[in-house]
Amino acid sequence: MESVGCGRERESSNAAVLARIMASELPKPRFIPGKQQVMTHDQLAAFAHQIQQFALISTRSISMHKKFADTEKRTHVRKIGSRGGYYDRLTTDKTPGAARPRWKPTAIQISILEFIFSNSDLLPGDNDIMAITDALRQYGPVEEVNVFYWFQNRRARAKRIVAELNAGKNQGKLM
């Protein structure tokens, strides 16, 4: 019940404010009885031209937004890996969370990857992975995520081999 009273009080206070504004000496628009033209013909033409330009800009903006949204729908971005910053472009025809079929690299693809790994001290960057993936596609199906994980796994294997060799050398010195 009290909220109804508050609403009525608000309405009456709004009416009081409106009455004070109307009583003040603010300039009021002039309307000639029978002829209520606010703009001249030239002003109206200029205004119509501005509306046309605004409509054109709006339609272009809408079409650009739709094009961008369609692109985002086709290829959405999902962060993968522990490096932070590498993104796998997944197409929308793959359902999120669905398992990918295992990648089976061809002998040529493996030899190319091994050559790149042996001639580099660091893991390839994002742009390098995209370029390597594009080159490997000539020899069979491959995705960027496959190349990313191949280098990550190969580096871990190389570290493990070095650690085992060092452990073997240390055991030889103890005997």
Q: Where are the domains of the chain?
A: 99-174
Mean pLDDT over 151-158 rounds to: 94
Pick from 2-6, 54-58, 147-151, 167-171 the range whose average pLDDT is largest: 147-151
Q: Tell me the per-residue pLDDT of 85-115, one tens digit each, with 9 for 90 and over.
A: 444 444 445 566 667 788 999 999 999 999 9
pLDDT value for 11:
57
- Cα distances (angstroms) measured from residue 118 to each of 39, 87, 132, 134: 78, 24, 15, 20
pLDDT value for 57:
86
d(CA 79, CA 128): 17
Question: Which of helix, strand or coil describes residue 91?
Answer: strand
Q: What's the mean pLDDT when you consider all of the chain?
A: 75
d(CA 114, CA 108): 10
CATH number of 99-174: 1.10.10.60
